[in-house]
Chain A
Amino acid sequence: MINPTVVDLSRLQFALTALYHFLFVPLTLGMTFILASMETVYVITGKQIYKDMTQFWGKLFGINFAIGVATGLTMEFEFGTNWSMYSHFVGDVFGTPLAIEGLMAFFMESTFVGLMFFGWDRLSRGAHLAVTFLVALGSNLSALWILIANGFMQDPVGASFDPKTMRMQFRSFGALVFSPDAQAKFVHTTLAGFVTGAMFVMGVSAYYLLRKQHREFAARSFRMAALFGIISSLAVVTLGDALGRLDFLVQPTKLAAMEGIWHTSKPPYAPWKIFAIPDDKTQKDLFNVSIPYVLTPLVAHDFTSPIPGVDALEHSARAKVIKGIKAVVALKAYGTTRNPAALAAFRANESDMGYGFLAQRYAPDQDLSKITVQNLPSIVQKAARDTIPNVFVEFWSFRLMVLLGFVFVVVFAFCAYYSLRNELEKHPLLLKAATWAIPLPVLACEFGWITAENGRQPWTVFGWLPTFQSASSHDVGYMVFSLVGFAFLYSLFIAAELYLMFKFARLGPVQHLTQTPHAPAFVQPALGQPGFTDKSWADNSWQ
């Protein structure tokens, strides 16, 4: 018997730890490339101020990076600790990108980040620049592999279910890596990170410009960040559109919830809702303002494709649930008896297996074989209703994300324009807006995560494995223990993080320059004869 409370607590814990981790990730993705850009200018022009910029923003980056690394540890292990059925079911294909992420990305990022911070006096300019670029590449490659893994959850390609091992087996590496969902999501997410990084650098620089502090330093940082941000923010919107179309093609339930489409309409009538208060219970809007004939071309990119609404999706899910129940009953028989007839029965309804799992929670004693003609309709009804994610949450998280996305385009456009004209200080309101906008991209990223993952519900692997089925069979007490601990530790971390961020951002770069005479932390070996001055080194064989 699966305990619904444990599943809910596991979901809560995963959502909280993932959302928390994702507070820090976007800034890392963007800041690394901004740091690399700044250092590129330093190497090209040889002007010291660009080195100072790289180091100062690098320090703020480091404060953020530490928590990103720490909370990332949780994510790597949480699949195993809390989602055992999920890990067993898809580990053969889902684990692979995670392992490759470690091999290809984490090692690169983490090894070179140490050299980036501490190697200034030990590496040539060119070598240090290469190190900084490798950190940027490494952190973005880790985004690539985790999003390839996530792409599989959204649109499971490259694997098929094997009744012998009771799990999804990896079939095509190419299909997994080049999955359209993974591709678009990778670009969308990293660009969102670029926007976050650009907004951070620009906002803090705007704060200095407003206070007429560190003006030369701030004006240059502002210029670079604004240009970085304007292109990134335009591109992030483009990719958002691409993702919307993908959802239309492979996750119609997500799209219906995002746009709050309760009923299928004759194309191209489908209205685009500017504002609505969707009510999931009655499947109606309590209130809405909408423009007809907009959504079809917006989502489908044509005027003839119908956009399925919640009613049609639920209707088609019912048939799948009925077939799915047959599939799961046959699968269970095959699993315990290895009877070829049962296997044949399973094969007949294989593609709807996931919908059978979905019905399991409503069956008597969670046992599908106990379903009778009498209780079948109500079970099918409930399971089909479950295939629709929470529309209110989906609708609003999506809308807020999109709204913020357009706000960023506007803010960056003005900022880039006035920065290029060197007239920033004539527009204090703009500078103020830029400062206050610092946390907004992070917020948009969180809404984006909610849109993507709430819209995936009720599945962990879309169409194949329900979330309800995926969790570990823990006691409630276990979950309370870990939740309390995470809440405590993560609260301490964020308090320390914000304290240090504000402290060092307020302190600013000049203080930082006068306090540090760039003293090398380590004793340099004599130039040209590596290590020979140092006896302990001479007899070792690291190399």
Chain B
Amino acid sequence: MELYVALKVTWALLLGILLTGLAIMVGMDMGVGTLLRFVGRSDGERRTALAIIGPHWDGNQVWFILGGGAIFAAFPTLYATSFSTFYIVMILLLFSMIMRPVAFEYRSKVDASRWREAWDWAFLISGALPMIIYGAAFGNVLQGVGFHFGWDGQYYQNESFIWYLANPFALMCGILSLSLAVYQGGAMLMIRGEGVIAERARRYAICGGAVAALLFVAGGIWVQFIKGFMFAQPVDPGMAATPLNGPLVLMRTGAWMNNFHIHPLLWLLPALGLAGMIMGSFSLIARKPVLGWWLGAVAWIGTIFTAGGAMFPFLMPSSTTPSESLTVWNASGSEYNLGWMLVFAVAFVPAILSYTTWAFRVMRGKVRTETVIADEHSY
């Protein structure tokens, strides 16, 4: 049983790392997509912005795909329940996400302004919408979601989708997520872009960082007033992975602060997030985009782990049937499965990080508009 608990906690941590990697790498590309129409006034400038992330967007996007796959395997019931209860927004997310690969490959293959203009709108939608949905998902989960389970493990939805779409706290989290993406994308445009592109990107990125910092603080205050979830009694973390017949769960205003009270060291996480946003914005003001990019990554780490730290061990609490809330303890895969997955993660994650780094190294350097325009192969 002990090993099982250790594996569950490890996979909860890995889930956090994965969601952070997704936010940093995909968020960066989404930020560039969102800013495309604003930093690039001419076609050449827009192509330059696309060429900056051109060789990497596909690799970065795998963080998103892996996110789906890893949740499926490590937390199958969470995968099944969350994707289905959030059906309308998940489908909207998919619709916007699937436009992006096509937009990259097709946009510059036809030299007609209406064609390219249409794909540029696709970039805006497929950049901004997924990031809003990504943040809003966290916001919704923090407030609890209305669902319960049948005897066979099938979920049943208890709330209308309208609530997920038009939920003020979730929308705020969505805008926070979009701001950080704009920040991260802007920093990348500054690293590899020149002249007007870098200058415009700088302004948007600084705003992004500032807005994110404000919303992060506002969110922190807001969370004090929403109902968090907590176990009524200590539970056995090695419990069988089923949400049925679960222990009693209470809903209490401010319960999400419990972990912070018990482990004051956790306060480092929001501090890290906030510091990343503020210092990041200052480093962009000082025109140090590479430092700014890394501070943006720190901001994401701080933000996502703050949310995770507050909720742990809850993953997706149920507001209508709290005792059937999904937690790290009851929604995970089996011990055997988590063990094998860990073997693969340990073997492949270092390899992935090293060849991704190599790919960025190979393609490093400034991207110039003249060369992009001259190259028919370029995005």
Contact = CB atoms under 8 A, between A and B. Distances in A.
B101 A67 contact: yes
Contacts of A493: 102
A357 to B, nearest CB: 8
Contacts of A517: 374
B77 interface: yes
Nearest to B115: A496
A337 B298 CA distance: 48
Interface string A77-117: 10111111111111111111011111110111011111101
A504 B109 contact: yes
Interface stretch (A45-53, A250-258, A440-448, A522-530): A522-530
A509 B325 CA distance: 59
Interface stretch (B67-75, B223-231, B266-274, B299-307): B67-75
Nearest to B92: A485
Given A87-B79, A335-B244, A523-B368, A66 B151 contact: no
A374 interface: no
Nearest to A134: B355
A332 interface: yes
B98 A489 contact: yes
Given A95-B73, A96-B341, A534 B83 contact: no
B214 to A, nearest CB: 28
Interface string B321-344: 000000000000110110011001
B72 A79 contact: yes
B55 A114 contact: yes
Given A70-B102, A84-B80, A92-B333, A524 B365 contact: yes
B108 to A, nearest CB: 11
Given A80-B82, A91-B80, A73 B97 contact: yes
A74 B83 CA distance: 12
Interface string A501-519: 0011000000010011101
B283 to A, nearest CB: 11
A125 interface: no
A180 interface: no
B84 A117 contact: no
A10 to B, nearest CB: 11
Interface stretch (B56-64, B167-175, B311-319): B56-64
A85 B336 contact: no
A282 B90 CA distance: 43
B371 A523 contact: yes
A365 to B, nearest CB: 13
Interface stretch (B32-40, B177-185, B247-255, B345-353): B345-353
B356 interface: yes
A111 B357 CA distance: 10
B69 A95 contact: yes
A81 B87 contact: yes
B335 to A, nearest CB: 9
A71 B95 CA distance: 10
A478 interface: yes
Given A63-B105, A114-B54, A118-B363, A85 B337 contact: no
B365 A521 contact: no
Contacts of A316: none
Contact of A76 (B65, B77, B341): B65
Contact of A166 (B65, B152, B293, B364): B152
A94 B74 CA distance: 11
Contact of A171 (B58, B289, B336): B336
A180 to B, nearest CB: 20
Given A88-B153, A106-B65, A166-B244, A472 B365 contact: no
Nearest to A76: B68
Nearest to A66: B105
Contacts of B70: 99, 102
Given A70-B99, A79-B72, A103-B66, A521 B377 contact: yes
Nearest to A101: B69
B218 interface: no
Contacts of B344: 99-100, 103-104
B157 interface: yes
B361 A530 contact: yes
B371 A522 contact: yes
Contact of B94 (A77, A104, A114): A77
Contacts of A426: none
Given A80-B82, A85-B80, A489 B95 contact: yes
Interface in A206-248: none
A520 B341 CA distance: 41
Nearest to B288: A539
B95 A485 contact: yes
A66 B341 CA distance: 29
Given A87-B76, A119-B55, A103 B99 contact: no
Of listed B72, B153, B161, B360, residue having the most chain A CB within 10 A: B72
Contacts of B359: 111-112, 114-115
B72 to A, nearest CB: 3
A164 B376 CA distance: 60
B223 to A, nearest CB: 27
Contacts of B80: 80, 83-88, 91, 472
A290 interface: no
A63 B151 contact: no
A148 to B, nearest CB: 13
Nearest to B191: A536
Given A107-B352, A500-B109, A114 B337 contact: no
A187 to B, nearest CB: 23
A276 B362 CA distance: 59
A472 B84 contact: yes
A96 B332 CA distance: 12
Contacts of A114: 54-59, 359, 363
B333 A117 contact: no
A512 B109 CA distance: 12
Nearest to B154: A85
Contact of A516 (B65, B153, B240, B377): B377
Nearest to B356: A111
A382 B374 CA distance: 67
Interface in A457-489: 469, 472-474, 478, 481-482, 485-486, 489
Contact of B66 (A84, A102, A519): A102
Interface of B: 51, 54-59, 61-62, 64-66, 68-74, 76-77, 79-84, 87-88, 90-91, 94-95, 97-102, 104-106, 109-110, 151-157, 161, 191-192, 240-242, 244-245, 288-291, 293-294, 333-334, 336-337, 340-341, 344-345, 348-349, 352, 355-357, 359-368, 371-372, 374-378
- List 10 tightest A-B contacts by C-beta distance, closest first: A91-B76, A80-B83, A95-B73, A66-B105, A95-B72, A540-B290, A114-B55, A111-B59, A102-B66, A87-B80
Given A88-B81, A525-B364, 13 more contacts: A70-B99, A84-B155, A91-B73, A95-B73, A99-B70, A107-B352, A118-B377, A482-B91, A489-B99, A493-B102, A522-B367, A522-B368, A542-B360
30 contacts: A80-B84, A81-B84, A81-B90, A84-B80, A84-B81, A84-B83, A84-B154, A85-B153, A88-B154, A89-B153, A91-B73, A95-B76, A99-B73, A99-B74, A100-B69, A102-B65, A103-B66, A106-B66, A108-B355, A114-B59, A171-B336, A473-B154, A478-B87, A486-B95, A517-B374, A519-B375, A521-B367, A523-B368, A531-B365, A539-B288
